Amino acid sequence: MFYVKTVPALKRARADIHFKRLVLNRAVRCTVTSSSTAQTEHDGVRIRGGSECPGLSGRGGRRREGTAAAAAANEISVDFEQTREAYKSKDSLELLRSLVVFKLCSYDFLVDKNKEVMDLAKKILGQKTFDQFMKMTFYGQFVAGEDHNDIKPLIQKNHSYGVGSVLDYSVEEDISQEEAERKEMDSCVSAAEKENIGKDHRERKYQAHKQFSDRRGGVTGARTYFYADEAKCDQHMETFIKCIKASGGSSMDGFSAIKMTALGRPQFLLQFSEVLVKWRRFFTFLASQQGKDGLEALEQRLELTQLQEFMTKLGANGDFYGWFKGRKEDSTGCIDMLDWNSLIDDRTKISDLLVVPNVELGKLEPLLGKFTVEEDQQMKRMLQRVDVLAKHALESGVRLMVDAEQTYFQPAISRLTLEMQRTYNGEKPVIFNTYQCYLKEAYDNVTMDVELSRREGWHFAAKLVRGAYMYQERERAKEIGYEDPINPDYESTNRMYHRCLDYVLDEIALNRKANVMVASHNEDTVKHTLTRMNELGLIPTENKVYFGQLLGMCDQISFPLGQAGFPVYKYVPYGPVNEVMPYLSRRAQENRGFMKGAQKERELLWKELKRRLASGELLYKPVY
């Protein structure tokens, strides 16, 4: 799985790619004006025809004018204010439930004490009545049902209104903080570290710290797994397989979500992440020695002759030119970050991957002094579980979405996901990686992975999110003493999100092999995406650009998009009432901030209820 051959030259020269991007951006910025008064409107979706794009004369100009005109002719505008269309899949009781739940989520006392309140309600009402109450309120709003049979009616109803599903079995362990801390510390520290405390040259960021070992702290938008043993990881894998099969059995174009930390000992993710980051940092250092600092990651190049000379001056004994023996005949004599990353290759033992460059000795050295046989086997089993899930997804016709996690795990998670993409995304997008755009390095990560997919000819597939671990990440960086990995403010994160999104959309327009899910509740981001799709001539039926929102939230965005023909998906959690309580607790906390900051959804819900009351449609029932 980890074989990484030396990367071949680009099928198209890099200069040609950059030129095409410049031409593309020049073309879409031209003024598009209506040349026809014909305009149709149906179900809140406007289709406008006719346009002209002046200023692109000369060789190729006429063709680009025609392309822009064709794009404008297919331009689709979605109206997110049309409540009748946004809520046509809901009866009036469902609208009323949404209003009640969102209102309750705005009360700090209820949200802060939600666990105590629910425990008290359970004692007073009894388990059966409590379950019924939850299904009428919070559970019914945010969870699809108890099992894969129970969720089929909702999936089919949403599908009939143009909205697909990303299935997520949302059962979580409800364990104490003390137990969470114990499990995390036991599973993130290797035998070598326990025997030789402080002797291995590990970075503090990639080590377990007791005060942050309960990874649930400050996290409302993501589920957390704690390692117990290998048997528990096998159970998680079987659960994911059932979810994949349920997704394949309920629709033709579904997604299923997984988390890497559910599939193995997190010690490996910590250690492998540290190795990957050190390799990347070493490349950046060498590039700075050749005067290439200050450039974006993909623009940095190392001249191999200068590299060898510099390392020799440092007293290094190794043949660094020989590290890239497969590229000695390369006419450019240069390597970039992707070539550099290819040094991590297939080895006899998985633990042999955990090596870092030693500048003084000019050779690779192990990150830790030793690995036990059991640790090596645990690493192998984690990779095997990931591979099993990818195969099941391919066989079931389901796309597998790998969720992002904390920054001290994420480099390894992204690399493992990328290896799956290289294996399974050759003919179509099966494996989707998740990029958290609140990270300062998000753009570099996206551009490097897009470039690698282009070189090797597989389908790039990404889910773009803003991120779920901001408060925890900031506090951990401050307390432990490393650079805050998060963008300084919300506006910076928005700019990063749109920058990453624009890059992928441009790539789709260039070669139609990239794919992206815009996982956002932000209406401005969705509108930005629609504008860019119209500019680039990307039509919904190509199924290259997807949209995603959580079940029970932002229906005024999801359903108008679906009815306009855009591929849009709800993240659909399911599981028994009593076992999804941690998930519901997080939804309540997440919605507190969401509902306090944005009143639009509640206003639209009230508007639709009033419209139905005035028009005599209060007893309206969805037909599907």
CB 289 within 8 A of CB 201: no
> Residue 595: pLDDT band by 50, 70, 90 thresholds?
low
pLDDT of residue 323: 64
**In the chain, what percentage of residues exceed pLDDT 70?**
74
**Alpha helix (H) residue ranges in 337-437:** 337-341, 373-396, 410-424
Over 70: is that where the pLDDT of 314 sits?
no
pLDDT, the chain, mean: 80
pLDDT of residue 11: 36
pLDDT of residue 610: 96
pTM: 0.83
pLDDT of residue 29: 41
> Residue 560: pLDDT band by 50, 70, 90 thresholds?
very high
pLDDT of residue 206: 77
Higher pLDDT, 395 or 183: 395
Q: Which amino acid is at 60?
A: G
Over 80: is that where the pLDDT of 483 sits?
yes
Over 80: is that where the pLDDT of 618 sits?
yes
Rounded Cα distance between 475 and 480, Å, is 9
Rounded Cα distance between 369 and 371, Å, is 7
Three-state secondary structure call for residue 6? coil
Could you read off the pLDDT of 407-454 as tens digits, one per residue? 989 999 999 999 999 999 999 999 999 999 999 999 999 999 999 999
Sign of CA dihedral 322, 324, 329, 332: negative
Tell me phi and psi for residue 398, to 5 degrees: -115, 140
Class of residue 409 by CB neighbours under 10 A (exposed 0-12, middle 13-18, buried 19+): buried
**In the chain, what percentage of residues exceed pLDDT 90?**
44
Between CA 584 and CA 586, with CA 585 as vertex, the angle to 5 degrees is 90
DSSP state of 52: B
Please name which of 382, 381, 459 lies closest in space to residue 422, comparing C-alpha atoms: 459
Buried b (16+ CB within 10 A) or exposed e, 246-274: bbbebbeebbbbbbbbbbbbbbbbbbbbb
pLDDT of residue 624: 80
Tell me phi and psi for residue 568, to 5 degrees: -130, 145
Higher pLDDT, 624 or 446: 446
pLDDT of residue 213: 75
Q: At what angle do helices 230-250 and 152-160 cross, to 10 degrees?
A: 40
Rounded Cα distance between 324 and 327, Å, is 5
**Alpha helix (H) residue ranges in 251-372:** 266-289, 304-313, 337-341
CB 529 within 8 A of CB 536: no
> Residue 98: pLDDT band by 50, 70, 90 thresholds?
very high
pLDDT of residue 592: 60
Domain residue spans of the chain: 14-78, 79-172+549-624, 269-366
Could you read off the pLDDT of 484-527 as tens digits, one per residue? 999 999 999 999 999 999 999 999 999 899 999 999 999 999 99
Relative to beta strand 163-169, strand 568-574 is parallel
Rounded Cα distance between 412 and 272, Å, is 6
Class of residue 417 by CB neighbours under 10 A (exposed 0-12, middle 13-18, buried 19+): buried
Read off the tokens for 557.
């965005």
Over 60: is that where the pLDDT of 67 sits?
no
Stretch 455-467: mean pLDDT:
95
pLDDT of residue 287: 86
Of the ranges 278-282, 426-430, 528-532, which one carries the lowest mean pLDDT score? 278-282
Over 70: is that where the pLDDT of 381 sits?
yes
Q: How far is CA 357 from CA 4, 247, 275, 323, 369, in A?
A: 18, 44, 9, 11, 15
Over 60: is that where the pLDDT of 329 sits?
no
Could you read off the pLDDT of 238-273 as tens digits, one per residue? 999 999 998 887 777 889 999 999 999 888 888 888
Please name which of 536, 543, 530 lies closest in space to residue 509, comparing C-alpha atoms: 536
